[in-house]
Structure 1
Amino acid sequence: MDTQESASHVPDNLSAKYKDSFAYLTIKDRLPVILTKVVDTVYRMKNKMKDEDTSDELKDITGRISKMRFQIQTDKPVENLEDSRTDTPIWNQHHQDLLKLNNGQPIKWFSAAWLYLECYMYRRIQESVELTNKLKSLDVFEDQKCEAYYTSEGAVTTLLTYLLEVVGQCQGYSSQEKADKLKQFLEVALWGNKCDLSISAGFSNSQTTCILDQLKLLNSNILADHSQQVIETLQHQMKGDAGRVDIVLDNAGFELVTDLCLAEFLVSAGLASTIHFHGKAMPWFVSDVTRKDFQWVLETMKGTNNLAISTFGAKWQKLLELGSWVFHDDDFWTTPFDFSMMKKHASELYSDLGKADLVFFKGDLNYRKLVGDKRWDPTESFSSSLRGFEPAPVCSLRALKSDVVVGLKPGQAEMTQHHDKDWMINGKWAVISFHPGHS
């Protein structure tokens, strides 16, 4: 592994162990932009409120978020959390552990590990809501997520119309035809990950064209493609009774629809009997899926005046009611820990994932947590970068939006850099990475 840090701020007094634990990413500038967007959103809510107490609490939220924005801009130390969520002691203990690793020196915004700071910022946003009395269920990103879905409705319509046709013919497909369609829906779910509001600082980032028409053009941008191993793993399971597939979700809106399409095809093709979805227990990274987002999409689809969309909205809601589909939102997904620490900090979740025949991890943040956000040599294998995290066979579907990547061929990173200097952060390149789990 190459442990040399990237060009962003790295403190001289940071211990060698601490430096080796994280990659230092050069995207810190967008945090104040995201916070400004949140303040503006909450301020507009305040202007609409007639309840004086609620209006005052919205004012308190904007005040706390504005304070954090100032702390970021002036490089103030990270503070302990003060709310009463069950994860607060976990965050505060981790802060103390980081202080020890940093020789007692404060953890500051311009010098600490980027993955930790980014997660901490979103946890602080949630704290600003948790400290209210009446607004504890408020999602400050809800309007943006709903808008992202609505502005993608044309693409959703095209995709679900096609899915309805595929499902209707699925029973007559040969094994090879099922494999071909599975690869197609894997790529649909992969490129659905381009729609990420945290990357666009909360501004519109929707899918406005037919993703099916783009797959062939985008194929050469998949830098590591282990889809055949994924297909073979699922086909092997199908030889017995179709089993369980888990999908660790990323973004709401169009990306969530692509994930639901993948789940639908797996069940319809007999490649899985149950699907377990994993979302966030609180609003996270602007557009990440919460239970409320998941339910909202199905309800919205169900009430849409389009046969394909309403059909699947009703069908998927029924699958949830029957228990064929299950939604989980464990607190671990919004802790500061990478996934190599799951067995220690969330052993029940790790054991539950171990019941799956395959676990899909969607998106950039999940990828960073899979590989520890380390400064890996790009040719390092995906399996070794997981550092022992193997509850089950693992597949990562990820469009690159941060400067960490593994599993590439020698010279591939340099060649891609020559073609596109922003290839690691602009979401135009992707990987389908696979680890088979225990042999």
Structure 2
Amino acid sequence: MLFSYFSPPIDDFDIFKELKDQNFFESQESIIALCTHLQDLMKTIEDLDENQLKNEFFKVLQISLWGNKCDLSLSGGKTISQKINLINSLEDLKPFILVNDMEHLWSLLSNCKKKRGKASITRVDIVLDNSGFELVTDLVLADLLLSSKLATEIHFYGKTIPWFVSDTTLHDFNWVIEQLKHSNHKWVSKCGVDWENHIRMGRWVYLDHMFWTLPHEFSAMPHVAPDLYATLQKAHLILFKGDLNYRKLTGDRRWEFTIPFHEALNGFHPAPICSIRTLKAEVQVGLQPGQGEQLTASVPNWLTIGKYGIFQFDGPL
């Protein structure tokens, strides 16, 4: 935040940029595999039946989840790139999803799609976490939502300033799309071109707000940033990516593992929400009785190593 008080060119200096860029470039093989999968899917997406689309939706959701492992804050600033093809690893990773509310997400969005008239919209908001490979997985998810008509508009929220190591800023968002657009790989380039077009046409909207870098838990948002809260209330679904967003959702308290997610949100309910995170902090709610204790007995540091993940939903069922 200090640099923002200076004049150009130092006013938007990002001390973490080199590490973010390194993460992106070292993950190229995985990015190619992911973009190729998406472009293959786009060729047949209109012909998929409901179960096939649901399976593809779940697959891309899981890719976005495990992309959250690429977090420079977990590594003490050392780059963590994605060097395996996540698409081929999803079945092996399923046992490590501790809370899996993907069915709720499908039910909500598929019902919105069925009820939506020609003039209405379905808006999904994504509160971003890390730039680099994880951001690419989030953009793939956003593209699938649009192409499948599960959503008609996506709002992305990033940070106003370089803040927590690899957090996404507007510069990162535009930079990643520009890098993809100019890739030598045709399907990677196609993704970049398509995503730039989504922005130009207003189907994708990038927003930031200083609240995301203030020291408040999200339950304070209606009082501290009522304009942001009012904006979020217009969404049909809000996806909160990553660990720090989860900590702020739950007030970063040492809750009992079985406390319901709805209760831990402490009144923060602007719209249906879902936390998509790999666990890297000592807070987790909404587990089954005994689940947390069993994990502690077998893997003492399970809360902080990024090995486990959740899709945790709060909203009308």
Provide the residue aligned with 2:4 in structure 1: 130
Aligned counterparts, 1:408-423, within 5 A? 408-423=287-302
The TM-score with structure 2 as length reference comes to 0.96
Aligned counterparts, 1:138-287, within 5 A? 138-241=13-116, 242-287=121-166
Q: In the TM superposition, what is the alpha-carbon distance from 1:222 to its structure 2 partner?
A: 0.6
Q: In the TM superposition, what is the alpha-carbon distance from 1:180 to its structure 2 partner?
A: 1.0
- Give the distance between the partners of 1:278 and 1:141, measured in 2 at CA: 19
Unaligned runs of 5+ in 1: 1-125
Find the residue that maps to 1:136 and give its secondary structure.
helix
Between structure 1 and structure 2, the one with the greater Rg is 1
Q: In the TM superposition, what is the alpha-carbon distance from 1:131 to its structure 2 partner?
A: 4.7
Q: Deviations over 1:43-73 (max 9, x none)?
A: xxxxxxxxxxxxxxxxxxxxxxxxxxxxxxx
- Give the distance between the partners of 1:172 and 1:376, measured in 2 at CA: 46
Q: In the TM superposition, what is the alpha-carbon distance from 1:277 to its structure 2 partner?
A: 0.3
Q: Deviations over 1:143-200 (max 9, x none)?
A: 1111110000110000110011111110001111111111111111111100000111
Q: Deviations over 1:198-236 (max 9, x none)?
A: 111111111111011111111001111111011101111
- Give the distance between the partners of 2:207 and 2:312, measured in 1 at CA: 23
- Give the distance between the partners of 2:23 and 2:113, measured in 1 at CA: 36
Q: Note if 1:338 corresponds to 2:217.
A: yes
Find the residue that maps to 2:277 and give its secondary structure.
strand
- The amino acid of 1:401's aligned partner reads K
Percentage of pairs with the same residue: 41
Provide the residue aligned with 1:81 in structure 2: none
Of 225, 246, 250 in structure 2, the residue corresponding to residue 367 of structure 1 is 246
Q: In the TM superposition, what is the alpha-carbon distance from 1:352 to its structure 2 partner?
A: 0.7
Count of residue correspondences: 312
Find the residue that maps to 1:247 and give its secondary structure.
strand
Q: Deviations over 1:92-111 (max 9, x none)?
A: xxxxxxxxxxxxxxxxxxxx
Provide the residue aligned with 1:18 in structure 2: none
Find the residue that maps to 1:191 and give its secondary structure.
helix
Provide the residue aligned with 2:176 in structure 1: 297
- Give the distance between the partners of 1:145 and 1:156, measured in 2 at CA: 15
**C-alpha RMSD of the superposition:** 1.1
- Give the distance between the partners of 2:75 and 2:208, measured in 1 at CA: 25
Q: In the TM superposition, what is the alpha-carbon distance from 1:418 to its structure 2 partner?
A: 2.1
Provide the residue aligned with 1:349 in structure 2: 228
Q: Note if 1:322 corresponds to 2:197.
A: no
- Give the distance between the partners of 2:32 and 2:109, measured in 1 at CA: 28
- Give the distance between the partners of 1:384 and 1:180, measured in 2 at CA: 31
- Give the distance between the partners of 1:209 and 1:246, measured in 2 at CA: 28
- Give the distance between the partners of 1:433 and 1:143, measured in 2 at CA: 33
Provide the residue aligned with 1:106 in structure 2: none
Find the residue that maps to 2:11 and give its secondary structure.
coil
The TM-score with structure 1 as length reference comes to 0.70
- The amino acid of 2:84's aligned partner reads T
- The amino acid of 2:4's aligned partner reads E
Provide the residue aligned with 1:48 in structure 2: none
- The amino acid of 2:212's aligned partner reads W
Residues 12 and 161 of structure 2 are in contact (CA less than 8 Å); yes or no, is this contact kept in structure 1?
Answer: no
Provide the residue aligned with 1:71 in structure 2: none
Unaligned runs of 5+ in 2: none
